[in-house]
A and B are shown apart, each in its own frame.
Chain A
Amino acid sequence: MTATRDRLRRSAWAGLGLLLGLWAFSFATSAVWPAALGRCPFGYDVLRPDSTVCELAIGGLWVSLSIGIAAGALATLFGLLVAMGARAAGGVLEEGSLRLADAFFALPDVLILMVLQLAAQTLADVHPELKIAPAPLMVASLAAVGWSGPARMFRNRLATLETQDFIAASKALGAGRPFLLRRHLWPAMRGYLLAILVARIPAAILAESTVSFFGIAKVEPMSLGRYLGTSYASLLYPSGARIVVPAWILLVLVVLGAALSAQGAEPERN
């Protein structure tokens, strides 16, 4: 049992290390030391001949990761607040918020994201003073899309925890709700929160990549998805496929890092 816990904890650290390492490497090579990626096995980009494929793909990674982390954190926080509010209110309000979360959860992220981007961009066309920069708009849209899953999971987790004997004992000893939350529920939720936060990151990155690929969002500096979306035409050239491969490998590494960290956080919640 202890060996399994240790193994999972090591995998959590490995996953977190992979995610942070990718972010740091991408940021350092694109913002601090751009010459490092001047030589790239995948060659130069067809449509931007002054940049290598590695520069563009790795340069887009830190943008995608930053958006994913910010959006994942916001969505997790919002989900936690909704779940705590629902549990505190109970009754019809709790049921109603669960049904709303179900409805959001049933629709794909990409679809709601496109509607939100359309609404915000149309609003900016009519009232330029209300225009939000693409990256913060994307973070806010992703958070507005991604709260429902965490809200459902946190609500179920809270409902399960509240039926435990130690909570009943604490209540019987006169503990109030703030005390219960601070002393008993929050420590039991921390690992779970981390697991959900980390699991949201790849989902946010993939949704952002897809919407950017369609050309609906124009995140600056260029994210991975926008890079792939704008390199679409290069596939018509011979060996155009090499444009796609580095970005693909980076996305897989992000998902692997997130999966390892989320699974490693599992023992914490117990």
Chain B
Amino acid sequence: MPRTVGRIGRQLAVVPIAALGSYLLIAALPLGAEEDSKRQLPPELVASYRRDLGIGEPLGFLKPWQKLFRGERLGTSAQGVTGEELLRKISGSVGVGCVAMVLALTWALAFAALRSQRRGSGAWAMGKLIPAIAFGTPVFIPALLLAPYVAEAGHWLPELAAALVISASPGIFLGALLTDAVRAELSRDYVRTALGKGLAPGAVFRRHVVPNVLPALLDSIGPVATALLAGSFAAERVFGLPYFGQLYVVAVLQKQVAIVVVATTCFAALLAAVGLCVELVRLLVDPRARAAGQP
């Protein structure tokens, strides 16, 4: 249990580090000073900076959150966001991310099955070329290619297309990891022993190999969730989805600093939540994680 608590603590530590780091970075900007040079920024933006971030106030970093909980608008009036809108945008992105995660697992299984069967030049293509294509393709490229056909279609088609394009690279990553983990487990002594004692290969795989591969797969869920959420920035922008990724990019482009601080913290909290879910699943499926806490 102490190990699990330590892992959970490390996951949660990301939230205050991201919250304070982004706040202090933005608060350090000399926007609040009465200088002629600040005239280069729109006055509404400078006013929003002072009003929303609580610069110079004790516990000023809590000011944007206080405004959100009160239902007030954060940022300039035209492009700002309320707490309710923020939650709606986050749930939209999480929905797309969940569909993308299912698709990524499907890609992973398909890629792992194909890769394990290939030999010779086919193995080279599966081991090098397909991952290079997947990892060398920024999300916005397939999104740009699909956008003319689905962006205006409605009926959740843009959301599905976004999920599809952001799932490809994490899916191939998971597939490569799965193949390597299965190969490593299949070469271990316990597999040979189980086969030697007459257990059917399918049963050996199901009963012995899969439970040992699952922890490696769980370890990779965190980075995959990060990749999916990062991919959502580009996909939502290209497909015109009004969710969290789009909000973040627009906030940066329009220098809505208070929204950037809050959205960065929300992003870190989302990742911490994924980490907590992974730890819970690990406790359920990995006996070693449960045994680590027992005396």
The one of B26, B132, B133, B233 in contact with A210, judged by C-beta atoms closer than 8 angstroms, is B233
Q: Is A259 an interface residue (CB 8 A)?
A: yes
Question: Given the known A-B contacts A102-B13, A102-B14, are A108 and B230 also in contact in the complex, defined by CB atoms under 8 Å?
Answer: yes
Q: Is B17 an interface residue (CB 8 A)?
A: yes
Q: Is A167 an interface residue (CB 8 A)?
A: no
Q: Is A114 an interface residue (CB 8 A)?
A: yes
Q: Is the CB of B41 within 8 A of A122?
A: yes
Q: Which residues of B contact A210 (CB under 8 A)?
A: 138-140, 233-234
Q: Is the CB of B148 within 8 A of A202?
A: no
Most buried by B among A99, A116, A118, A241: A118
Tell which of B27-35, B59-67, B284-292 binds the partner: B27-35
| Chain B residue at minimal CB-CB distance from A123 | B29
| Chain A residue at minimal CB-CB distance from B261 | A115
Q: Is A71 an interface residue (CB 8 A)?
A: no
Question: Given the known A-B contacts A118-B255, A126-B41, A259-B131, are A110 and B136 also in contact in the complex, defined by CB atoms under 8 Å?
Answer: no
Tell which of B110-118, B192-200, B263-271 binds the partner: B263-271
Q: Is B105 an interface residue (CB 8 A)?
A: no
The one of B14, B30, B41, B135 in contact with A202, judged by C-beta atoms closer than 8 angstroms, is B135
The one of B136, B144, B148, B229 in contact with A108, judged by C-beta atoms closer than 8 angstroms, is B229
Q: Is the CB of B138 within 8 A of A122?
A: no
CA distance A202 to B260 in the complex (A): 26
Question: Given the known A-B contacts A118-B252, A123-B30, A126-B29, are A214 and B132 also in contact in the complex, defined by CB atoms under 8 Å?
Answer: no
Question: Given the known A-B contacts A123-B30, A235-B148, A259-B128, are A111 and B267 also in contact in the complex, defined by CB atoms under 8 Å?
Answer: yes
CA distance A106 to B28 in the complex (A): 24
B278 vs chain A, min Cβ distance (A): 12
The one of B21, B38, B128, B268 in contact with A106, judged by C-beta atoms closer than 8 angstroms, is B268
The one of A111, A122, A214, A256 in contact with B255, judged by C-beta atoms closer than 8 angstroms, is A122
Q: Which residues of B contact A259 (CB under 8 A)?
A: 128, 131-132, 135
Q: Is the CB of B268 within 8 A of A126?
A: no
Which bracket fits the contact residues of A? 35 or more
Q: Is B217 an interface residue (CB 8 A)?
A: no
Report B146-183 CB contacts with A as 1/0, cut-off 8 Å.
01100000000000000000000000000000000000
B215 vs chain A, min Cβ distance (A): 19
Question: Given the known A-B contacts A216-B252, A259-B128, are A118 and B260 also in contact in the complex, defined by CB atoms under 8 Å?
Answer: yes
Q: Which residues of A contact B222 (CB under 8 A)?
A: 106
Residues of A116-132 contacting chain B, CB below 8 A: 116-119, 121-123, 125-128
Question: Given the known A-B contacts A213-B234, A252-B132, are A232 and B252 also in contact in the complex, defined by CB atoms under 8 Å?
Answer: no
Q: Is the CB of B136 within 8 A of A214?
A: no
Q: Which residues of A contact B139 (CB under 8 A)?
A: 210
CA distance A241 to B252 in the complex (A): 28
Q: Which residues of A contact B252 (CB under 8 A)?
A: 114-115, 117-118, 214, 216
Most buried by B among A116, A126, A232, A240: A126
Q: Is B94 an interface residue (CB 8 A)?
A: no
Q: Is the CB of B17 within 8 A of A100?
A: yes
Q: Is A254 an interface residue (CB 8 A)?
A: yes
CA distance A228 to B145 in the complex (A): 12
Q: Is A215 an interface residue (CB 8 A)?
A: yes
Q: Which residues of B contact A92 (CB under 8 A)?
A: none
**A-B contact list, 19 entries, CB within 8 Å:** A103-B17, A106-B271, A107-B268, A111-B248, A114-B260, A115-B252, A118-B257, A119-B25, A122-B41, A210-B233, A213-B140, A213-B234, A214-B237, A216-B249, A228-B141, A235-B148, A252-B136, A252-B137, A253-B136
Report, nearest first, the 9 A-B pairs whose CB atoms are least far apart. Answer: A255-B136, A108-B230, A252-B136, A256-B132, A103-B17, A251-B136, A114-B252, A125-B40, A255-B132
